[in-house]
Amino acid sequence: MLKKSIDDKMEFVTEIYVDGEEDAVVAVTSTREIDCVDDAMYEFKKLDMDACWISRIETWSIPQHYTANELA
């Protein structure tokens, strides 16, 4: 049995989209929402694009992934 319930662990995904692109130019995950958004903005800055090109930023939560050892 898991030490912690699967239901109580969440992971966050943040994607950044720019004008003219259907796919996200940045996608990151983290266990904390604020870190996920910060990391996504950091990665976006590495692309050397101006922020005015951002059309939307999406963040959502999903159940955290577990390794086979954690589930055993």
Domain that holds residue 43: 6-71
pLDDT value for 68: 66
Strands of 26-30's sheet in order across: 26-30, 10-18, 54-63
pLDDT value for 1: 43
Check residue 64 and report its DSSP letter: P
Query: What total of structural domains would you count in the chain?
Result: 1
Mean pLDDT score of the chain, rounded to an integer?
86
The list of the chain residues with pLDDT below 50 reads 1-2
| Residue 1 covered by a domain | no
Q: Are 28 and 40 in contact (CB under 8 A)?
A: yes
Tell me the pLDDT tens digit for each residue of 39-55: 999 999 999 999 999 99
pTM to 2 decimal places: 0.77
| Residue 44 covered by a domain | yes
pLDDT value for 36: 96
